[in-house]
């Protein structure tokens, strides 16, 4: 008989052990990294929008997961969405239904609370399809030569790099976009702080007047271990309220061509390549007959409706 319950502080070392075996690339093994991971989990126990759960069999922890409380714009209305993350099963307990029980618990948990959807990033899309989840929008990875961006360099005059003190204004910009975009998840200030606290991230802001009307979160990545001059810019997030803001931020990226070989965008915009003089992907792949690859395409977020009555109730309101 399985018991799924909220984790407490004494549970965290065992939970971390399970996570490290399930996702070894994410969790360091040095004493220092172990301590940082435990401190991060302990902080998460105190956060109101996040909960850590463990599945126990015969009083032994066999699996863990995180549940998040989100808000999403659904047809112009803000609706609550339950997020599932970090599902990890002890390697000795695989293929014993642990992951399935955790996902089923998540679904019941949010249905009982009246949430409209649950959402997750799948480690195995086929597994979550079997659990009733469907695919969201496609994600496109564009990798282009910055010199090939089709922009006007004079559009850059309203750009500067933001400081920690301006995070609220960036969030206000995102909130305005959120209010008019179906399917967009609300951003918390915590997420902006997390972005900012990562030492490799840079915040570029477009402010032509009193308000921030666009921003770009980016970082530099090396492309070679042998040649330190080879690098790219990775755009982590790019939000803009109108074409002028997009034009300005692309102009900033274009003038970095003397320093970086390529700019990598992760975007749900299937038409972003129209802003490139040369839309060809860095892979230079050609497929029959003469079609140039312009992006790699993937599926990320998957969604599941908690219940039809919850949906009808939301639409009625």
Per-residue confidence (pLDDT) for residue 313, from 0 to 100: 76
* Interstrand relation of 138-144 and 296-299 (parallel, antiparallel or unpaired): antiparallel
- Do 239 and 213 lie in a common domain? yes
- Do 152 and 286 lie in a common domain? yes
- Do 155 and 215 lie in a common domain? yes
Per-residue confidence (pLDDT) for residue 141, from 0 to 100: 96
Per-residue confidence (pLDDT) for residue 49, from 0 to 100: 86
- Do 287 and 173 lie in a common domain? yes
Quote the crossing angle between the two packed helices 189-197 and 167-179, to the nearest 10°: 130
CATH of the domain at 310: 3.40.630.30
Question: How far, CA to CA in Å, does 138 sit from each of 132, 172, 302?
Answer: 18, 26, 10
What's the domain range around 55?
Answer: 2-136+303-316
Number of domains within the chain: 2
- Do 290 and 184 lie in a common domain? yes
How many Å separate Cα 284 from the centre of its chain? Answer: 27
- Do 7 and 126 lie in a common domain? yes
- Do 148 and 282 lie in a common domain? yes
Q: Are 219 and 199 in contact (CB under 8 A)?
A: no
Cβ within 8 Å of residue 186, ≥6 positions away = 70, 71, 72, 73, 78, 175, 178
Quote the crossing angle between the two packed helices 31-45 and 12-22, to the nearest 10°: 120
Dist CA 29 CA 149 (whole Å): 42
**What does the pLDDT look like over 136-178, one tens digit per residue?**
999 999 999 999 898 888 889 899 998 888 888 999 999 999 9
- Do 309 and 194 lie in a common domain? no
- Do 23 and 50 lie in a common domain? yes
Question: How far, CA to CA in Å, does 124 sit from each of 127, 243, 251?
Answer: 5, 37, 38
- Do 64 and 152 lie in a common domain? no
Q: How much is the pTM? A: 0.86
240 Ramachandran zone, left/alpha/beta (phi>0; psi -120 to 50): beta
Question: How far, CA to CA in Å, does 45 sit from each of 145, 192, 289, 290?
Answer: 44, 20, 55, 54
**What does the pLDDT look like over 73-94, one tens digit per residue?**
998 999 999 999 999 999 999 9
Q: Are 98 and 60 in contact (CB under 8 A)?
A: no
**What does the pLDDT look like over 267-302, one tens digit per residue?**
999 999 999 988 999 888 999 989 999 999 999 999
Per-residue confidence (pLDDT) for residue 47, from 0 to 100: 84
- Do 271 and 218 lie in a common domain? yes
- Do 107 and 177 lie in a common domain? no
């Amino acid at each position: 008989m399985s018991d799924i319950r909220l984790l407490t502080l004494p549970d965290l070392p065992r939970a971390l052990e399970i996570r490290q075996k399930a996702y070894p690339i994410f969790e360091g093994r040095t004493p220092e990294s172990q301590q940082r991971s435990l401190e991060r989990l302990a902080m998460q126990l105190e956060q109101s929008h996040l909960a850590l759960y463990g599945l126990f069999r015969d009083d032994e922890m066999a699996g863990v997961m995180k549940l998040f409380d989100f808000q999403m714009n659904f047809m112009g209305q803000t609706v609550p969405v339950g997020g599932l993350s970090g599902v990890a099963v002890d390697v000795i307990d695989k293929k014993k239904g642990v992951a399935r029980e955790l996902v089923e618990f998540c679904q019941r948990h949010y249905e009982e609370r009246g949430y409209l959807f649950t959402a997750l990033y799948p480690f195995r899309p086929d597994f979550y399809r079997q659990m009733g989840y469907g695919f969201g929008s496609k994600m496109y990875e564009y990798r282009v030569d910055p010199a090939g961006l089709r922009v006007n360099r004079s559009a850059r005059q309203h750009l500067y790099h933001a400081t920690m003190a301006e995070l609220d204004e960036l969030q206000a910009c995102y909130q305005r976009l959120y209010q008019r975009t179906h399917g967009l998840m609300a951003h918390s200030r915590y997420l902006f702080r997390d972005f900012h606290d990562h030492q490799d991230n840079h915040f570029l802001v477009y402010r032509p007047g009193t308000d921030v009307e666009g921003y770009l979160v980016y970082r530099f990545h090396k492309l070679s271990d042998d040649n330190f001059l080879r690098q790219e810019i990775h755009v982590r997030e790019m939000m803009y309220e109108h074409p002028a803001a997009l034009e300005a931020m692309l102009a900033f990226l274009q003038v970095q061509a003397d320093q970086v070989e390529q700019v990598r965008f992760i975007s749900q915009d299937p038409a972003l390549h129209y802003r490139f003089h040369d839309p060809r992907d860095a892979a230079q792949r050609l497929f029959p007959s003469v079609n140039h690859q312009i992006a790699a395409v993937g599926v990320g977020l998957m969604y599941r409706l908690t219940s039809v009555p919850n949906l009808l109730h939301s639409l009625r309101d």
